[in-house]
């Protein structure tokens, strides 16, 4: 037994020790994290897809864009449509409530007339003996309607002097100066110096290719313009009446009675405006809100004519307006850059106007409007706006540019129709000054009803 024990002990003593765990060696290049690589791969794939995918087809022009929006509006009426329908249903109820409570006025969001520029005419070449600077002066004078016979050219040594008379009633010297300077600089001339006083501006130009120096003298002289016999007529329509204060309204009522007022329906002072204008014998229009591009983000106001409206809904809305505003000779659109491009909507509008023997003025907030053409085909008296007087602002340079544009329009058409707005007293002061300038330029104000009869298209 003792031996066995010893053996056991001996075995115990000779039992090998457990091997120590080897130390982990930290490698600099650790095993890659697959999750991060996978995420990076996904991001790369998304970026590559974004780069190589075909872009969505953009509208070819404004007409395509408008046509697309018309289809979308008709197929998917916005939520606001129901709200506006509810306004129509509850109109009578709301009228019975406190009428003295001011109504919310939604000021017109400007939708500028989009003018399609005609193709540029080829630049004329100088006549025999003319330089490019001579041609530039002739072109600028033509733009400002200065008679060629009134321009004097004199050459003394290396100085060529042009004397150009300017009609003070048509434009000021600063505006004429700007037109001549722009035309000369486009021809490569360089302005050396300029001198001016209240009645004369002198501009001295040169050109590297020429040894001669050009002296351009602009001065006031209206006598040569008095022989002009082509008196032109213009109609001015002032939009957005019905919300301005009675005090400001009285200021606009002091304008020539030939100026037409376009009045919002259902505003706080709509009835007062109609009554006072009617007492003066002044013509008025119903300023009807219509759906713009961007609706409902851009809100034309309550009871607007929308693309989703049926013919019956449009007739009901317009008939109510006409019943409430019997003094008005017709309507013009407030906004409506989308509604006036839809033949179906415009046909519904013209049918109702024809039933009530009312006229239509297309405000032309877009150059793809079909309203005027549809009105002609409906055989109702129709007009269209030629220019907004107070866009983009009402400063002096805008007045000069608009006046010059009206003069240019009067050369190609017998009558001009212009629209402006009544939002504040500054616009009243601006309009007074504009009318004064128009009269000095030989224009006669006439009411809308005296503009020539509508012309039925040859092909209907």
Lowest mean pLDDT among 35-39, 73-77, 335-339, 344-348: 73-77
**163/178 Cα distance (integer angstroms):** 16
d(CA 205, CA 191): 5
How far apart, in Å, do the first and last CA atoms of the chain sit? 134
pLDDT attached to residue 129: 76
Give the three-class secondary structure for 445: strand
Q: Strand pairing partners for 367?
A: none
CA-only gyration radius of the chain, Å: 37
At the topology level of CATH, where does 132-223 sit? Beta Polymerase; domain 2 (3.30.460)
pLDDT value of residue 214: 94
Q: How is residue 358 written in tokens? A: 């009312």
For 218-241, write each residue's pLDDT tens digit: 999 877 766 554 568 999 999 999
Q: Which residue has tokens 């004097």?
A: 152
The pLDDT value recorded for residue 147 is: 85
The confidence score (pLDDT) of residue 148 equals 85
| pTM attached to this predicted model | 0.61
3-state SS assignment for residue 387: strand
Identify each DSSP E strand in 115-251 by its residue range: 152-156, 159-166, 190-196, 200-206, 213-220, 232-241
How many C-alpha atoms does 108 have within 13 Å on its Cβ side?
29
DSSP state of 201: E
Span 87-101+230-450: which CATH code? Answer: 3.20.20.370
Lowest mean pLDDT among 31-40, 49-58, 175-184, 253-262: 49-58
Alpha helices in 171-269 (DSSP H): 173-186, 246-253
Q: What pLDDT is recorded for position 237?
A: 98
> Average pLDDT of 437-445?
93
The reported pLDDT for the residue numbered 225 is 67
Per domain, the residue ranges of the chain are 87-101+230-450, 132-223
pLDDT for res 350: 97
């Amino acid at each position: 037994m003792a031996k066995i024990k010893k053996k056991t002990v001996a075995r115990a003593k000779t039992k090998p020790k457990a091997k120590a765990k080897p130390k982990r060696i930290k490698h600099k290049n650790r095993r890659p994290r697959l999750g991060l690589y996978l995420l990076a791969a996904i991001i790369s794939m998304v970026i590559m897809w974004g780069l190589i995918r075909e872009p969505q087809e953009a509208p070819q022009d404004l007409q395509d864009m408008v046509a697309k929006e018309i289809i979308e509006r008709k197929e998917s009426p916005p939520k606001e449509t129901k709200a506006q329908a509810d306004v129509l249903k509850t109109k009578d109820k709301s009228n019975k409530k406190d009428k003295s409570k001011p109504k919310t006025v939604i000021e017109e969001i400007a939708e500028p007339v989009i003018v399609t520029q005609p193709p540029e005419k080829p630049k004329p070449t100088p006549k025999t003996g003319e330089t490019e600077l001579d041609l530039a002066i002739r072109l600028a004078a033509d733009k400002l309607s200065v008679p060629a016979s009134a321009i004097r050219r004199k050459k003394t040594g290396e100085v060529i002097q042009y004397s150009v008379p300017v009609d003070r009633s048509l434009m000021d010297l600063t505006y004429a100066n700007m037109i001549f300077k722009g035309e000369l600089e486009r021809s490569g001339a360089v302005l050396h110096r300029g001198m001016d006083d209240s009645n004369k501006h002198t501009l001295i130009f040169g050109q590297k290719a020429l040894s001669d120096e050009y002296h351009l003298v602009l001065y006031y002289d209206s006598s040569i313009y008095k022989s002009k016999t082509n008196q032109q007529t213009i109609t001015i329509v002032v939009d957005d009446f019905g919300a301005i204060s009675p005090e400001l309204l009285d200021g606009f009522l002091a304008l020539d009675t030939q100026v037409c007022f376009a009045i919002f329906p259902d505003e706080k002072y709509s009835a007062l405006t109609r009554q006072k204008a009617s007492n003066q014998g002044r013509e008025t229009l119903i300023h009807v809100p219509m759906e713009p591009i961007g609706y409902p983000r851009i809100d034309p106001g309550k009871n607007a004519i929308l693309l989703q409206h049926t013919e019956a809904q449009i007739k009901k809305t317009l008939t109510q307006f006409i019943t409430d505003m019997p003094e008005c000779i017709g309507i013009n659109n407030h906004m409506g850059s989308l509604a006036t491009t839809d033949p179906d909507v415009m046909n519904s509008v013209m049918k109702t106007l024809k039933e009530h023997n009312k006229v239509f003025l297309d405000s032309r907030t877009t150059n793809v409007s079909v309203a005027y053409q549809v009105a002609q085909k409906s055989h109702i008296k129709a007009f269209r706006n030629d220019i907004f007087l107070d866009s983009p602002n009402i400063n002096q340079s805008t007045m000069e540019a608009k006046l010059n544009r009206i003069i240019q329009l009067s050369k190609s058409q017998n009558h001009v129709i212009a629209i402006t707005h009544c939002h504040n007293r500054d616009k009243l002061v601006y309009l007074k000054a504009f009318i004064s300038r128009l009269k000095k330029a030989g224009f006669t104000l006439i009411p809308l009803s005296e503009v020539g009869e509508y012309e039925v298209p040859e092909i209907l």
